[in-house]
Amino acid sequence: MATKAQAQGHLAALFTILVWGSTFISTKVLLESFSPFEIMVYRLVMAVVALCIISPPRLSRERLNFRVLRSEWRFMAAGLCGVTLFILFQNLALSYTQAANVSVLISAAPLFTALLSRLVLSEKLKANFFIGFTVAMAGIILIAFNGRFVLKLNPLGDLLSLLAALVWAFYSVLIKKINAPQSEAFAGTRKVFFNGLLFTLLLLPLFDFHPGLERLAVPANLLNLLFLGVVASALCYVTWNIAVHLLGPVKTSSYIYVIPVVTIAISALVLHESITLVAGMGIALILIGMALSERGKAT
């Protein structure tokens, strides 16, 4: 039974990463018509609507007590960290520094998750995890710079990338602490996104936002926003949360290493970009590092 549950967790994590690795195409198309913050708002609104349709909110008659408040606080914190701050920091980082820097630094999320899990969840780690992290990061660096080792540092952009990785670690640990059963995965994710949307709306006065609903009449814009909102957000956050529940935050986060591999594969298929020898070496290192990290959590 445990083996079956683990298999389901790995499949859920793999599906999530396959989708998230392809979102760059949709985002690239949308950036021609929308600002990064506008994409974020529309994406979250569509995610909340989709989750409300799939799992309609129900009025609860449960009395307000400490247990209920503690549960709701965790959902609020998860929405703030995993939805609002993660997407915001990532988008802002891309406007200040190179995409290669962002991809490398955000890939530190598994390390932050492991360290935070050790502190909060008392999960024990083996040396293999840290060896795997080092090997995978070497592969990600090879892919990100593709042999052109000219690292242009931007303190603000690079700091924002690291902050995105850190808040994602907090999100993963919070999801494990919430520990909602699979049967309530959609309802729990709906709560997370609803809170994330509320926090995002509070930021409206700080960013340039124009509704511009006529842009949604363009089929390419609408389809790409639906993909980001319904599939990459509503559905994939559910599958990611299920994976965290079944595998734990450390093992699940190691799948983040695979995102650059998916991106390269889709670029080759859709954009007809060639896979260089350096990129191929990077892919091999990532897969080896991930395998080592998977064995790096003590059971």
Q: What tokens does 88 get?
A: 């915001």
In terms of Cα–Cα distance, which of 41, 65, 79, 34 is closest to 189? 79
**Mean pLDDT along residues 178-183:** 72
pLDDT tens-digit map of 98-124: 766 777 788 888 889 988 988 888 777
* CA dist 84 → 19, 78, 125, 197, 204 (Å): 20, 9, 29, 7, 12
pLDDT of residue 64: 47
Given a contact cutoff of 8 angstroms between Cβ atoms, the answer to whether 161 and 93 are in contact is: yes
pLDDT tens-digit map of 208-223: 888 888 899 999 999 9
Q: Is the pLDDT of residue 267 over 80?
A: no
pLDDT of residue 299: 46
pLDDT tens-digit map of 42-67: 999 999 999 999 988 876 554 544 55
- Cβ-based burial of 205 (10 A; exposed 0-12, middle 13-18, buried ≥19): exposed
**Mean pLDDT along residues 193-216:** 90
- Cβ-based burial of 73 (10 A; exposed 0-12, middle 13-18, buried ≥19): exposed
pLDDT tens-digit map of 17-35: 989 888 877 887 888 888 8
Q: Higher-confidence residue: 292 or 216? A: 216
pLDDT tens-digit map of 229-263: 999 999 999 999 999 999 889 889 889 888 878 87
pTM: 0.84
- What letter does residue 64 receive in the DSSP assignment? P
Q: Is the pLDDT of residue 272 over 80?
A: no
